[in-house]
Amino acid sequence: MTKNFTKSQLKEKKEFFNKNGFVIFENVLNKNDLNKVRKKYKKIFKGQYETGVVPDKIKWVYGRDKNNIPRSVCNAWKSDYDVARVVLSKKIGELVASLQNWTSTRLNQDSLIWVVPGAGSVAFHQDNPYQDWHTPGKVITAWIPLEDTSKEGATLEYLIGSHKKWNNKKT
């Protein structure tokens, strides 16, 4: 996958990532795969699991919880083949390995998050401190939006450089 980028492009992305704590790669994943997930994520939130396996963590239950709050399930890849195809993508693994000079990568968790209109937001946080099974600083999060986003529309925000200042503090 990294062969889709020149060495110079990858070097530039890596330098940006190391300085700022995030980097943007566009058009990496197959749009048809993303569209399949987009068309069915609501079924996952309604408890319809293609594989028959329940996700590890369900933070919103259809019919039980209020409709005006952010929703999430963790490790939806176990419950749906299309989600698995996206989050277990070799392309993501290769880009992450390239950014960190790792020989391989491992998926720790996926989070399928659905922020409905009027639901507020997910609070600012760092993922690294919540993954206390590893060497600090060895976690990377890949955000993959399924819908078009804007600054005003529940998009992800980064605090530039926060990976250097507040790493490993739960917020």
Q: Please write the tens of the pLDDT for every residue from 102-147.
A: 898 988 889 999 988 888 777 766 666 666 666 656 777 888 988 8
Contacts 24+ apart (CB under 8 A), 7-15: 10/98, 13/99, 14/98, 14/99
Q: Would you say residue 135 lies in a domain?
A: yes
Q: Are 141 and 154 in contact (CB under 8 A)?
A: no
Mean of pLDDT over the chain: 85
Q: Are 166 and 125 in contact (CB under 8 A)?
A: no
Mean pLDDT of 3-25: 89
Per-residue model confidence as pLDDT tens digits over 22-81? 999 988 999 999 999 999 999 999 999 999 999 999 999 999 999 999 899 999 999 999
Q: Would you say residue 99 lies in a domain?
A: yes
* Domain count for the chain: 1
Q: Would you say residue 21 lies in a domain?
A: yes
- CA dist., res. 58 & res. 75, Å (int): 9
Q: What is the pLDDT of residue 27?
A: 87
3-state secondary structure of 146: coil
Q: What is the pLDDT of residue 16?
A: 95
- CA dist., res. 110 & res. 89, Å (int): 12
Mean pLDDT of 71-95: 95
**Widest distance between CA atoms in the chain:** 51
Q: What is the pLDDT of residue 131?
A: 64
Residue 159 sits in which domain range?
A: 2-165
